[in-house]
Amino acid sequence: MPKERRRSSAANADARPSFARPPGAHALPPSSYPSQQTSPTRQRSRSRGIEYSDWTSEDDNWSELERRRRGEPLQVKQGSSREKRQRIKEAPGASPLKKNTRHCGENERHAEVTRDHRRKDRHKRKASEPPVSYDKGDKEHDRAKYTSGSSANSGTQLLSSNALSKLNEQNDISEFEAKRKARKKREKEYEELKKQSKKTEERGRRKKNRDVSGAILEEGRSGKRKRRKEPADHYDDYEEKRELRKESKKPMTKKKRWLIVGAIAIVLLIIIIVAAVIASKKKAGGASGGDSSNTASSTSATPKNDCDTSDIPESVKGTYYDVSTWLDTSDFNCTYTAETVGGLPLIGLKSKWDDSAQANANTPALNKQWQYGKMPVRGTNVGGWLNLEPFITPSMFDYAASDNVVDEWTLCQKLDFQGIKDAGLDHVRIPFGYWAVKAYDGDPFVPQISWRYLLRAIEWCREYGLRVNLDLHAVPGSQNGWAHSGHQGTINWLNGADGDLNGQRSLEIHDSMSKFFAQDRYKNVVTLYGLVNEPKMINMDDPSKVIAWNQQAIDLVRKNGMEQQLIFGDGFLALAEWENTMKGVDGKLMIDTHQYQIFDVGQLKLKHADKINLVCSGWKGIIVVSNNPTTGWGPTINGEWSQADTDCTPNLNNVGAGSRWAGNLNTNTGAGAVNVNTPSCASPPCQCGPANADPGQYTDQYKKFLKMYAEAQIFAFEQGQGWFYWTWKTESATQWSWKLGLAAGILPQKAYDPEFKCDSAVPNFDGLSESY
C-alpha cells in the first residue's frame, strides 16, 4: 500500500517544463530526474547573457515607442505569454527516459517564473482586493485539463523535448540577430547625429535646444532622469543622451551671473578711464588755432627747434613771432598767431588746458580753491633762471668777452618741475625781470626772450598741479642796487633823478602783465602775484614813495581783472613797523618777508644749537605776531630762506667777493656796499672750506644740524602763510638748492613731513666744530 501511494504521487506530478506547466501544478521532485548532464542545447540556452526573467524587471519608464525602436524584448506576462511565444507543450505522459533527460534546473525556473507572476498579480491588484488563491477543485481542474490519459495521442498533439529545445534555440537566435541589427542601425544613426552636432558647434552658431521628444514628454521624463543600467552591449539612444547632457549643464545662478556682469563692468570702466586720461592729455596738448599737429615736443637735454614754419608770413620773419628763430621749442605751439593780450603775445601757447592736476594728496587740485591762511604754502623759487644770479649759475659769469652767452633756457627744464612736485612741494615762485615784458631805450637786455619761457614754465606747473607765485624780481632803475635786480649799483627806482620815471615804467609793466594773467586760463594756476621783490626802503631818500606806489599798483591790477592774492615786500623794515601801514587797502593782500641769519654778522656768530633756538623762539614769535591782524599787519609769508649757515658760497655777496664768515668781504659799490674785515664765526679762525665741500664729505653731526636747522625754519614759517625756499636748483651750492640738499639727505624727503618741530629738544651737536 505505501508503494502504490508513492506511484500514485509520482503519477499525479506534472513532468512538463515550467513554462508549459499550468499554475498550481506540482512538478516532479528533484530526485525523480536522472543524474545525467544537461544537453548541449539546453546549456547554450542557459548561458545567454539575458534571461527571460531579466526582461520582466525592465524599467517601467521605457516607452512603447522606444521599445519598438530598440526591438521588443521577450517578456512573460500573465495570461499572454503563450499567445506571444506559442511554445509547444511537451506531452504530459512522457516516457521515463524523457523525464530523466530534463535538467534539474527546471524546478528553479518554474519557481522563479511563478514568483514573477505572483509579484505582477500583487501590483495589479488593488489594495482592497483579496489575494488570489487556488482551492483544491481549481487545482484538480487544471491538472485534468493538461493531463492526457494515453501516450498514443501525444505524438500527434505535442512535440518532443528535443524538438522543443531546438525550436526555442532558433527563436533565441532570431531574436538576438534582430536586436543586433537594430543596435547597429541605431549606432550608425547616432554617429551621423554626432557629426552634424560637431559641425554646428564648430561654426559657433549653437542655438538653444528645444525638447521635442514626444515620448519623453508623454512619459513625464522631461524632468529628472536616471541612466539605465544595462549590459555592456547596450547603450542609450541619441535622444536620451542629449537630454542627459542638457540636464548636466545646470543653469547659471543669479550670483554667478552678477559676478560675471560686475567683472565685465569693471574691465569696461578701466578701459574708459584709461581712454579718457589719454584723450584728456591729447586735449590739453591741442594746439592754438586748431592745429594740434604743429606742436613741438622734445625730451632732449639740449635745446631743439622742431617747428614747422611754413605758415609764418614774410612780414614777421626775423621777429619775435618767427618761431624759426627760437632756440628751443619743446612743448610750444608753433602755429603762427599775431594775437596779443595786454600787448603781450600769445604765440607759443596751446588753446586748451587742464586744471585737474594735484601736487600731492595734502593739497587740492588746481580747479579747487586753495584756502590761504588755513593751508600753509610749501614752495620753492626757481631763482637764477629768468634773471641771473652769479652764485646760482657761476659758470655763466666765467667766460671770455668774445664768448656768446646763451639765453634763459639753460637752467630750468620740464623735469625740474616734476622734481618739485615729487619733493612734496606745492607752489613755485618764478622770479623774472621786467625785460621779459618790455625793454626801454638804453637797456642792455634782449626783450621778451624770457617771456615765452615764463609762459611755458607756468604750463609745466599746471601739468604737475603746482600753483605759481609770479614775482617781478627786477624793475626799471633797480629797486635795491643788487645784481638780481638787473643792475648792480645805485637805486634808481622811486629814487634819484629818474626814480619817478622808472616807477611809472614799472606800473606799465604791471598794466600789461595784469591784463594778460587776468585771463581765465591763469586764474587757477597763477594764484599769487608779487608787485616788486625786495625794495630796499631803508636806503631810499623817501621810503613813503614805495608805499604810495604799492597802492597804485594794487588799484591798477584790480582794475584789469586780477583776482589773485597780491604780495608786497617788507622793504627790509621790521615787520612790527608795518602794523598800521597799508591796512585795509585790499582784502587779498600778503606781506612778504625774507629771513636770513647769514647776512647779519651778529646772528652769523651764533653756535649751531643757538641758531636753531633763534629760529624757534625769535623768528617763530615774529611770524605769529605779524600774521595776526590784531597784533601785527596780517597775512605774512616768507618768500625766501635757505639752510646755509655761512655766507661762504662763491659769488653769493658779489662776483669774486669774499665772505663775512672768513672776514674778507669788501663790496664798496652803491647801496649794497659792505665791508667786513673780521671773521664772524663762533670760534675763529673761520674757514669756508668745510662749508663749501662736497656734501659727501659732511660729517654726520653736520648733516644732522643742517637738516634740523631747515626743519626748524619750516615749522616757524608755517605759523604764518607758509614759505618758499631759495632756490630749487644751483650748479654747485648744495646749501642753497632744495634739489641738491634732498639728494644729500639734509632736507626732509617730503616737504610736508619734516621730523623736527620747535617743541622738540635741540641737541648740543657735540663734536661739531664751530669754526669748521
Catalytic amino acids?
Answer: 534, 640
Q: Could you tell me which of 441, 444, 510, 511 has the C-alpha nearest to residue 472?
A: 510
- Between strands 565-569 and 589-594, the pairing is parallel
Q: Could you tell me which of 529, 481, 478, 482 has the C-alpha nearest to residue 506?
A: 478
* Long-range CB contacts for residues 765-770, cutoff 8 Å, separation at least 24: 765/608, 765/609, 765/701, 765/704, 765/705, 766/701, 767/699, 767/701, 768/608, 768/699, 768/701, 768/702, 768/705, 769/683, 769/690, 770/607, 770/608, 770/681, 770/682, 770/683
**Can you tell me whether residue 381 is helix, strand or coil?**
strand
> Contact at 8 Å (CB) between 677 and 668?
no
Give the position of cell 506540482.
Answer: 26
The angle that helices 700-717 and 620-627 make with each other, rounded to 10 degrees, is: 20
Cα separation, 436 vs 523, whole angstroms: 21
The C-alpha cell that represents 589 in the structure block: 593782500
Residues 175/177/183/187 CA torsion (nearest 10 deg) = -170
**Can you tell me whether residue 626 is helix, strand or coil?**
helix
Render the burial of 340-349: b for 16+ CB within 10 Å, e for the rest.
Answer: eebebbbbbb
**Furthest C-alpha separation in the chain:** 175
Residue 57 φ/ψ, nearest 5 degrees: -100, 20
Cβ-proximal residues to 197 (8 Å cutoff; 6+ apart), any chain:
none
Residue 291 φ/ψ, nearest 5 degrees: -110, 85
Cα separation, 618 vs 622, whole angstroms: 6
Residue 535, Cβ neighbours under 10 Å: how many? 27
Q: Could you tell me which of 572, 568, 575 has the C-alpha nearest to residue 547?
A: 568
> Contact at 8 Å (CB) between 589 and 551?
no
Q: Indicate the residue type of 97.
A: L
Cβ-proximal residues to 67 (8 Å cutoff; 6+ apart), any chain:
73
Question: Torsion-angle region of residue 454: left (phi > 0), alpha (psi -120 to 50) or beta?
Answer: alpha
Strand partners, 689: none
**CA 426 remoteness from chain centre:** 25
Cα separation, 636 vs 385, whole angstroms: 26
Render the burial of 461-474: b for 16+ CB within 10 Å, e for the rest.
Answer: bbbbbbbbbbbbbb
- Between strands 344-345 and 377-381, the pairing is unpaired
Angle value at C-alpha 277, between 273 and 279, nearest 5 degrees = 115
The dihedral through the CA atoms of 228, 233, 234, 237 has a sign that is positive
